[in-house]
Structure 1
Amino acid sequence: MDHKVLVSVDSLSFMYEDQQTKALDNVSFQIKEGEWVAIVGHNGSGKSTLAKLLNGLYFTKEGSIRIGDIVISEETVWDARKRVGMVFQNPDNQFVGTTVKDDVAFGLENNAIPREEMHKRVEAALEKVNMLSFLDQEPHHLSGGQKQRVAIAGVIALKPSIIVLDEATSMLDPQGRQEVLELIKELKQENMTVISITHDLDEAARADRIIIMNKGKVYQEGKPSEIFQLEKELIEIGLDIPFAIRLRSGLEAQGIQVDKITLTEEELVTELWTSHFKK
């Protein structure tokens, strides 16, 4: 099935007032409905600036961002934000309610959703992120992964077309990170369009497509299997290669051949035991 283009970034440039160089320089790409795209880069590459432009937190006169049929501007930003939900790095900074239920309901109240509909959406969103049993819990009692799942529920309840995760797993422990990544995978399977802004290539390896940012420009773009063949280039621009890729290279240096390109530890383990321990 050929999905329609949902996000179109065209010749986008942006410069902060106190800077001499552009944070973004002539950036163009498209994202289709139902895709999970990871936008990756080291600190200062422009990826977080791009996230804020996608959600209308910043505006620029150079280039454009189109969300469906809406070109983001100061005049259209509120319509655009109905289509783009944002989850930030620190879940503690996102909570405004005294309970999980109140927090997920906050955005719905601001959008004047009728009370009966609001209750249905809150429960449905929390059930989707496996947090319904925490409905009346105080947010500060939750783990990092649980807090981030509640933050995602608050976005899901608003029914956006796109969810943008700006370093949403970077402050989580391994378990919390795994919880959130599994949730992202489930949302994508339900045709949610996901844009994850991250410096973590282990996270990016799970996406359908990766856009590498470097010095405000699109450096490379492609499927994870294509991107990770550029191992040396990625290291040169300051990115950490996924553990599974590094381990595969180490094994091959020791004479242990791994025929299939593996992007995750699970894939590498499966490839090793199926190819080297056949009866």
Structure 2
Amino acid sequence: MGQPIIEVENITFHYHQESTPALNDVSLHVNKGEWLAIVGHNGSGKSTLARILNGLFIPDSGKVRVSGIELSEKTIWEIRKHVGMVFQNPDNQFVGTTVKDDVAFGLENIGISRDEMVRRIDWSTKQVKMDSFLDHEPHHLSGGQKQRVAIAGVIAVQPDIIILDEATSMLDPIGRSEVIHTIRELNNQGLLTVISITHDLEEASKADRIIVMNGGEKFAEGIPEDIFMLDEKLVEIGLDLPFPFQLSKKLREAGVPIRHNHLTEEGLVNELWTLKSKA
């Protein structure tokens, strides 16, 4: 994994002078090219953290550096050139009457020339497999298609980092799979560093690294296999363990000789198939 592209040092943040901080002395880093999942229940501080990383909020104390730029009131717009964000509800993100207009909106805001705009619209919509929908009206698209257009609008601006703030939580399983697959391909191509803000541990299990937030503080950090070793401690702070992980445990308790607590359905199915073949 590459060098840190985001560095967060001891940040604290309060909403409207509330006595309890939404974030309390949080430090972390994000490596260039990685997929980092930040998980936690509602109120854990994960979405507040996302908004600080995008410059929507400024911390009360501590430091945030993005691509070597320290976040301040003066550098917010420079930071946002490096960080794109896809929010929870795809219907709230459209500003254009067609897919093409919507992707063009962000490019117009940063003064991209018309020829370059046409090139970027073509490139970004092809990346998310929405190039055949350029003249479609947004309300005719599925939830997954809308989120893929939102992603196209972000990557057309060519940021280094994309933040998915619960971007799949309102989608059906097919739409969720479409969006994650699209982002994974872009990440694998080296086009994006990805930060996924989610409460879905099954989605987080596919990340390179996971940070668990609880009560505005960092509760745990590590690769998915290490995080899921916490098991019931994650349940105690309001998180649901991935179904394949739970089923692996249940099968072992029932006497099935499974060696691993699997994070994916594929892994569990493969081990069960191997056991069947040996039987």
Tell me which amino acid in the other structure corresponds to 2:127. K
Q: Secondary structure at the match of 1:121?
A: helix
Structure 1 consecutive aligned stretches of length 4 or more whose deviation exceeds 6 Å? none
Tell me which amino acid in the other structure corresponds to 1:31. V
Q: How far apart in 2 are the matches of 1:4 and 1:274?
A: 39
Aligned to 1:259: 259
- How big is each residue's C-alpha offset from its partner over 1:48-74, in whole Å with a ceiling of 9 and x where there is no partner? 100111111111231111101101111
Are 2:14 and 2:60, in contact at CA under 8 Å, matched by a contact in 1?
Answer: no
Counting only pairs closer than 5 Å after superposition, residues 14-29 of structure 1 correspond to structure 2 as 14-17=13-16, 19-29=18-28
- How big is each residue's C-alpha offset from its partner over 1:82-110, in whole Å with a ceiling of 9 and x where there is no partner? 00000000010000000000000100000
- 1:155 corresponds to 2:145: no
Q: Secondary structure at the match of 2:79?
A: helix
Q: How far apart in 2 are the matches of 1:32 and 1:20?
A: 33
Aligned to 2:95: 96
- How big is each residue's C-alpha offset from its partner over 1:196-253, in whole Å with a ceiling of 9 and x where there is no partner? 0000001000100000000000000000011111111000111000011011011011
- What's the C-alpha RMSD, in Å, of the aligned pairs? 1.0
Counting only pairs closer than 5 Å after superposition, residues 201-212 of structure 1 correspond to structure 2 as 201-212=201-212
Give the gaps of 5 or more residues in structure 2: none
Residue-pair matches, total: 278
Residues 257-266 or 173-182, more deviating: 257-266
Q: Secondary structure at the match of 1:6?
A: strand
Q: How far apart in 1 are the matches of 2:17 and 2:10?
A: 22
TM superposition shift of 1:4: 1.1
- How big is each residue's C-alpha offset from its partner over 1:124-182, in whole Å with a ceiling of 9 and x where there is no partner? 00000011110100011000000000000000100000000000000000100010111
- 1:11 corresponds to 2:13: no
Normalized against structure 2, the TM-score is what?
A: 0.98
Q: How far apart in 1 are the matches of 2:251 and 2:18?
A: 45
Q: How far apart in 2 are the matches of 1:272 and 1:20?
A: 52
TM superposition shift of 1:276: 3.4
Q: How far apart in 2 are the matches of 1:67 and 1:88?
A: 20
Residues 182-191 or 170-179, more deviating: 182-191
Are 2:87 and 2:164, in contact at CA under 8 Å, matched by a contact in 1?
Answer: yes
